[in-house]
Amino acid sequence: MSTCTPLTRASLPSLVLLLLTATLTPSFGQQPQYHPHSEHLQILRPFLGQWEFEGVATPGSTIPEGTAFKGTMSARWVLNRCAIEGKWSVLGDGDEVLAQVLFHYSWDPLKKKIVAAARSSLGEVTHEELIESDGTTFVFKATHRLGDGTAKTSTRTSVLADDRQSQTTTWSDQVVDGQQVPDLKVLSKRKPQPLQDDRAAVVGTWTTTFTNDKGEKIRIVKEVKRNRETVHYYDADDTLTRTHTNRYWLQRRGNYNTWTYPGMKIVEGTDAGTQVRFPQPEWYIYQVNGDQLVEFQGLGKDDGKPQYMVWSRVAE
């Protein structure tokens, strides 16, 4: 069975030739060829992504006993899916970093088991083996060497919720330097992905009205697709006066979700056929909540008067 092997100087010419050949070989319609070990790691797929967790440190932890902690964990494929890489960042109540952990899961072809190796910023080294799993409950046996050289053993059990959006992890049978210590339990929840959710939520038809500087009531209808929007303007007599269309994308800027667009093409009205391109993509802050879309426009220094617009979803 093939294994992940380090590069040697003798293998570099062959690697270069392989890369050149792959570059010149047509790949249309071909599916990615992942490392065979990835098949053994598929059982860990539910853990991929971003997670948030919290707990209280027990004796034998890498941080002081009784310390309340929280943090984030991420897991992703690496090395042509020959391994899964994960990162833990453990924070205190004041968001100070208490510890960081880097770990890798891989398939051991000799033991025929999933194994893991982890190292922390406090000097702890951990080796684990997956000894039992039914796809929901995962049991690992671990040996640790703390930063001061103290030996530790434990059993780590992670149980996924039915919706795969949360998990409970318990470190039990913990023995530190020959002494049994209490269990440690950590609750983790999958980190919300607002942009991913919003990309689906904004699709549809929206409408709003406003009064212009002349005191005229204007109705606007916005048709939003996956990456393009078309906006129609109607006057007080409900006559179409202008339509423009443009690409858009959603972005995260600091603490806000923003709607960004590089320009627009006017397709109806007196300026129909005009293509408008901005020197820099323009953006505004938005918030979508069910059948309501709120926009905060005109926040740039050259944008003029800020606008607060509330759109309602049109039933389809």
* 28-32, 53-57, 98-102, 197-201: range with highest mean pLDDT: 98-102
Residue spans per domain, the chain? 35-190, 196-313
Q: What is the pLDDT of residues 278-299, one digit of tens each?
A: 999 999 999 998 899 999 987 6
Q: Output the DSSP codes for 19-56.
A: HHHHHHS--TTPPP---TTHHHHGGGGGG-EEEEEEEE
Our CA angle for 261, 266, 271, nearest 5°, is 140
16: enclosing H helix or E strand: helix 12-24
Separate counts of helices (H) and strands (E) for the chain = 3, 20
Homologous superfamily (CATH) for 196-313: Calycin beta-barrel core domain (2.40.128.20)
Residue 302 pLDDT grade (very low, low, confident, very high; cuts 50, 70, 90) = low
pTM: 0.57
Domains 35-190 and 196-313 agree in fold: yes
pLDDT tens for residues 180-233?
Answer: 999 989 999 988 777 877 888 899 999 999 888 888 899 999 999 989 999 999
Per-residue pLDDT of 4-35, as tens digits, reads 544 444 444 444 333 333 333 333 344 468 88
CATH 3.40.50.720 fits 35-190, yes or no: no
